[in-house]
Structure formats: C-alpha cells, structure tokens
Structure 1
Amino acid sequence: MRGVVMYGPGDVRVEEREDSRIIEPTDAIVRLTATCICGSDLWPYRGVEPVDHTLMGHEYVGVVEEVGSDVSTVKVGDFVVGSFVISDNTCEICRSGFQSKCVHAEFVHGGIGTQAERARIPHADGTLVATPGQPDEDLIPSLLAASDVLGTGWFAADAAQAGPGKTVAVVGDGAVGLMAILAAKQLGADRIIAMSRHPERQKLARHYGATDVVEERGEVGVAKIKELTGGLGAHSVVEAVGTQESFMQAVGATRGGGHLGYVGVNHDVQIPGIELFFAGIHTLGGPAPVRRYLPELIQLIWDRKIDPGKVFDLTLPLSEAAAGYEAMDERRATKVLLTL
C-alpha cells in the first residue's frame, strides 16, 4: 500500500509500505477514504521535533475491511471515524473522560501512520466510532475534522468552560483555533473573540461564530482583550498555537477566576511560575480526549448542524502530500485534505 513517510525535515515522500494486517484480536483494518495534514505535523517538517523515516498521519476516516476476533462494536463495511489517540475506552482513566491518557494510549502518528491507503487500528472497539450509515461525499471532510481538529477544538472550549454568559477569546487562527470558535458557539458563548491577522481565516472565524477579531499580539493583544472586556479579560480562553508568546498571551487574556484551555502542541514553552500563580486562573489542557466527544460530534455533522469541513482549504491526492506540507508550512493553506 502507499503511505507518507517523512525521512527528515522538509523531506516528505509517498512510497510503498507493508500492507496493514491484523496482529492482535482487538485490531481492525480500515481502508481510508480521506486523511489530512495536521498543524502538528509541521513541527518535525520544520526540524523542531526529531524525525527519521517516520510514518505520518493521525487523522482518518474510512471503511472497515477486516476485524479481529475480539472486536464487537464495529463490523466490516462500517464507515468509521477514529481518534488520533488509541484507547480501550474501558479503563478507569477512559471512563473519567480522558481517553487520551488511557492505560493503552498510543499516538496514531509514528507507529501507525494514517496518511496511507489502509491502517491497522489497535483497540478498535475503544478507538473507532461508526457513523449512522454510509455518508454522503460532502460530509466526509467534516467527519474527518472530527478525528482531531474538531475534537481538539471542542475539548479546548470545554476545558475553558465556554458557555452562556461567557466571553471566549481564542489565541490562534489555525484549524484547531477555528474549531474552538465553532465549539464555543455551539456551547452557547455570548461573545467570541478571534485573535487572527489572516484575512481569510478571519472570515472563516466569523462564519463559525466569532463576534470580534483582534489582530494584535503579545502584551498589546492582551491589552486589547481587556479593553473589550471592561478591563477584566475573557471568562474563557483557548490557547491553540503552542509558542511562548501565545501561551503567555492566553494567560494574560484570562480574567481572574477564569478558565484557560490549552491544546497547542508546545515546544520550549517556559511558564513563569510566579506569573501563573498571581494570574489566579484555572488551567486544563494537553492531548484532547477526542474519543469522548466523537459520538456527539458525528451526530451533529450527520444532522448537518455544524460544518467543520470548511476548515480544509486545499485538497490534494495522497501522491501530492509533499506539496500539501509545503503549502501549510508557507501558510498558503490552513489545512490540507488528502484524497485516496
């Protein structure tokens, strides 16, 4: 089968890989219908994370082709959406709603790689969720978004306790930040402030529910948020970038007693303990437990109540994956969908 392998920074190739096969009785083989490139894939692409012949991809939807003898919740022929973290969905941690910290947790990126024609999904019963039927083609991008960016944005907004009566500020206008705006709107937030300098992303942010746009960054951006909130800061803040500046901007934009949901994959972020101490805020974040939200998100998409698929602004065949990475690296694309 064909799959994407990153040999080193900036070196992305599509090549023949060993075909996926059942190894454990809890496995399922999924013939992928669509996959995509994540903003976090750019960290190794840019040399920030180590990479050496790494199997790429962790967002995926497709049709079950084969199941192990212990799999019972999905069957051959089902169209499924899977989380980017493998989980059994039965352990004590999973039952508390944090499937991304499952005792069997395994990141799909690297060990499995779903930028490919097929994928072996371990713990299929706990990781995959079947859709109500075979989806129309126009729903596939939105269902694919649920595999990571929608679920991650939703977790961030939930962690920030976005809801009625709240002002939400979203730091980051990438795919996850845009999905956090969609989530905050669905959760009933009164006001949603998108922090963005990119005109096309600002337009999509407003489509998803942003009421205000702040282009300033750093301390100036924090001052602007406070100006818009009577000097207090936002009740709920989402950090969806993962840099030192963005994280401290998010902390500064959160009012005393407010909630910060952070999901940007960070590198070398140093949080000054004294600043966090005196901020007096609640924080919750990390790898999103997407599996917790998948049934609800799939139903919202199926009923056409949300349209997260609009976050994909470039579609390419799998064979042109390298061009997709280049487009996202150069910010010519927000998120690239790869067809198979």
Structure 2
Amino acid sequence: MKATVFHGARDVRVETVPDPAIANPGDAIVRVVNAAICGSDLWPYRGTAPWQPGARLGHEFTGVVEAVGSGVHAVRAGDFVAAPFSFSDGSCAFCRAGLQTSCEHAGFWGGQENDGGQGEFVRVPFADATLVRIPDAVRADERKRVAALALTDVMGTGFHGAKAAGVSAGGTAVVIGDGAVGLCGVIAARYLGAERIVSVGHHPARLEMAQGFGATDVVDSNDPDAAEKIKEITGGTSAVVEAVGQQSSLDLALAVVRDGGTVSFVGVPWGMSTVDFRRLFGGNVALRGALAPVRAYLPELMDALAAGTIDPSPVFTHRLPLPGSPDGYRAMDQREAIKVCLDVSAA
C-alpha cells in the first residue's frame, strides 16, 4: 500500500509500505477514505520533534472497515467509521471514566510501530472500543463526510477545550488561537450556548472565518493592548481556551481570565516554560487541559454533525489526493492552508 513516510526535516514522501493484517482478535483493517494533516505533524516536519526516518505520518482518518478479527462485534466490514487520534481498550479504569487518552493500553497512530492515518490502510487495535460508526446521512453528504474527519481530532480537541474551560449557555468565552483547533473551539463554544465569543488571533482571513463560526468579537493577538481590549469586551470572563501551545498565548490567557475562572490549554505545548503561579494562586484561577479524550466526545459530536448543529468542514482549506501530501505539508508549513484534507479512496 501507499503511505506518507517521514524521512527528515521538510522531507516527507508517499511510498510503498507493507499492507497491514489482522494481528489480534480485536483488530480491524480500515481502508482510509479521508485523512488530515495536523498542525502537530509540522513539529517533526520542521525538525523540532525528534522523529526517526521511516516513521509513518497521520493520526486523523475516516474510512471503511475492510476486515475484522474474530473478537470484533461492534463494527463489521462495510461500515464507514471515524477513528479518534488515539486507540484505547475501552475497559480500563481510565476508559470507563471517559479519559481514553490515558488508557493503560492506549497508543497513537503513526510513528515507527503503528500505521499512520495518511496511508491507504490502517490496522486498528481494540476496534470495538476505538472506532465510531459514521451515520449513513453523513456518509452520503460530501460536506458532512469531510466534516466528520475534523471530529477525529481538531473538533474534538476544540470541544474538550470549551468543556474544560466551563463554557456554558448564556456565558462568555475567549478562544485564543486561530488555527484549526482554535476555530473549532469557537464552534464548540457556540454549540454549548455561549452568548459572547471572542476569537483571538492574527490572521485576518481566519478571524473572519471565526466570525462565520459564531465569534461575536475578534481581537488581533499581535496588538500590544490585546489583553485590555479583550477585558473591555468581556468585562472579564471565567472561560478561556488556549489553543496555540506557546508561552505568549498562555500568558495572554492568564491575563484575561477573571478571578475564579478557568483557562483550558489544548494547544500542543511547544516552548512553554513558565506558569504565573502567583496569578493562579492569588486569583483562584484554575488551569486545566489538555490532551483531549476525543473518543469520549465522538458520539455526541457525530450526532450534532448529522443534525447540522455543527459544521467544521471549512477548516479544511485545501484538499489533495494522497500522493499530494508532501505539497499539503508545504502549504501548512508556509501558512497557505489552515488544514489539509487528503482524499485517499472512495467512501
């Protein structure tokens, strides 16, 4: 089969790799229909994460079940399914508590040991606990089918950020970051009923997209007075989502949250080194996060997508065939694309 393989900084290639096969009774083989390139994939691409040549890439995919092991009962061949960015056994204490990313047997797609989502086929361990069936109404609708891909990571992560921050109906939310996760955080805040939503970023086109998703106000994060402007708009908010993962965005989040509020950080941390513990202590501010248990949210989000309540499909600004994935990486690296959808096979 063909798959995207990491060879070094800014060197990813689509090449032939071994086909996956059922290894355990709980396995399923999924033929990938759509896969995504994530902002976190750019860390190895840029050479800032220590990946080894030969690693598979991609942790977001939807596809059709081709075969199942003898122990699989929840899905069957022909089902159209979504896979969260990590697999889990569904039976340990963490899974039962809805924290599947801490599962005792959890793993992540790609790397040296597992199939990556950016390939033609994926072996899925713990298929019954990991895979979520996509409704026929979504499968039949091209726009919703692409939107379902976002649920496997960025939409689920944005939703986790909004939930962890305590966004509630009639309330106010601030979402820092105008990447795919931040934009999905705006969608989530709107879905949860926030009355006022402030999107903070520095790309005008993305902030305009945030307004289309339900942001009532936008603030340029590069403005030296950004914190004061946010506080002026909100009058102080108890729910702040940090969706970037950098020191400056965390500092801004702590500056604008009001006493007694919560900052949830769901941007993959890169370069964060300090936390203003005096601010947390003196203001009774909670800092929560981070790695989203997307599997816990997938059924609710899938129902919302099918009902037309959410639609994160616009975050995919570029669509390419699987052989074009190196071009997709370049487009995201150069900020030409927010997120890339790879069309791998027919649904």
Q: Structure 1 length as normaliser, TM-score?
A: 0.96
Tell me, yes or no, if the aligned pair for 1:167 and 1:190 is still in contact at 8 Å: yes
SS in 1 for 2:331: helix
Amino acid at match of 1:44: P
**Which residue in the other structure is 2:249 paired with?**
246
Tell me, yes or no, if the aligned pair for 1:33 and 1:62 is still in contact at 8 Å: yes
Matches of residues 261-276 of structure 1 in structure 2 within 5 Å? 261-272=264-275, 273-276=277-280
Tell me, yes or no, if the aligned pair for 1:218 and 1:246 is still in contact at 8 Å: no
Asked if 1:224 is matched to 2:225, the reply is no
Amino acid at match of 2:57: M
Asked if 1:305 is matched to 2:309, the reply is yes
SS in 1 for 2:136: coil
Summarize deviations over 1:39-81 as a string: whole Å, max 9, x none. Answer: 1001111111112222000000010001111111111110001
SS in 2 for 1:43: helix
**Which residue in the other structure is 1:24 paired with?**
24
Match of 1:337 among 334, 341, 347: 341
Q: C-alpha separation between the residues in 2 aligned to 1:120 and 1:278? A: 49
**Which residue in the other structure is 2:110 paired with?**
109
Tell me, yes or no, if the aligned pair for 1:238 and 1:250 is still in contact at 8 Å: yes
Matches of residues 194-213 of structure 1 in structure 2 within 5 Å? 194-213=199-218
Match of 1:162 among 163, 167, 182: 167
Match of 1:120 among 123, 134, 140: 123
Q: C-alpha separation between the residues in 1 aligned to 2:254 and 2:222? A: 13
**Which runs of 5 or more structure 1 residues have no equivalent in the other structure?**
none
Q: C-alpha separation between the residues in 2 aligned to 1:28 and 1:331? A: 36
Matches of residues 309-320 of structure 1 in structure 2 within 5 Å? 309-320=313-324
Q: C-alpha separation between the residues in 1 aligned to 2:46 and 2:226? A: 27
Asked if 1:175 is matched to 2:176, the reply is no
CA offset at residue 279 of structure 1? 3.9
CA offset at residue 247 of structure 1? 1.2
**Which runs of 5 or more structure 2 residues have no equivalent in the other structure?**
none
**Which residue in the other structure is 2:219 paired with?**
214
Matches of residues 38-187 of structure 1 in structure 2 within 5 Å? 38-53=38-53, 54-110=55-111, 111-133=114-136, 135-136=139-140, 137-187=142-192
CA offset at residue 219 of structure 1? 6.1
Tell me, yes or no, if the aligned pair for 2:280 and 2:286 is still in contact at 8 Å: no
Tell me, yes or no, if the aligned pair for 2:31 and 2:120 is still in contact at 8 Å: yes
Q: Which moved more, 1:304-313 or 1:274-283?
A: 274-283
Tell me, yes or no, if the aligned pair for 1:164 and 1:189 is still in contact at 8 Å: yes
Q: C-alpha separation between the residues in 1 aligned to 2:192 and 2:279? A: 29
State percent identity of aligned pairs: 47
Q: How many residues align?
A: 338
Q: Which moved more, 1:127-136 or 1:25-34?
A: 127-136
Tell me, yes or no, if the aligned pair for 2:279 and 2:285 is still in contact at 8 Å: no
Summarize deviations over 1:172-214 as a string: whole Å, max 9, x none. Answer: 0000000000000000001000002212211210111100000
**Which residue in the other structure is 1:258 paired with?**
261
**Which residue in the other structure is 1:2 paired with?**
2
CA RMSD of aligned residues (A): 1.4
Q: C-alpha separation between the residues in 1 aligned to 2:271 and 2:199? A: 25
Q: Which moved more, 1:127-136 or 1:181-190?
A: 127-136
Q: C-alpha separation between the residues in 2 aligned to 1:94 and 1:193? A: 33
Amino acid at match of 2:49: E
Asked if 1:328 is matched to 2:339, the reply is no
CA offset at residue 218 of structure 1? 7.7
Q: Which moved more, 1:103-112 or 1:147-156?
A: 103-112
Tell me, yes or no, if the aligned pair for 1:67 and 1:76 is still in contact at 8 Å: yes
Q: C-alpha separation between the residues in 1 aligned to 2:38 and 2:212? A: 21
CA offset at residue 92 of structure 1? 1.2
Q: C-alpha separation between the residues in 2 aligned to 1:165 and 1:217? A: 29
Tell me, yes or no, if the aligned pair for 1:313 and 1:335 is still in contact at 8 Å: yes
**Which residue in the other structure is 1:234 paired with?**
237
Q: C-alpha separation between the residues in 2 aligned to 1:331 and 1:129? A: 31
Q: Structure 2 length as normaliser, TM-score?
A: 0.94
Amino acid at match of 1:207: G
Q: Structure 1 residues 226, 73: CA separation in 2 closer, same or farther (over 3 Å shift)?
A: same
CA offset at residue 153 of structure 1? 0.5
Q: C-alpha separation between the residues in 1 aligned to 2:10 and 2:283? A: 39
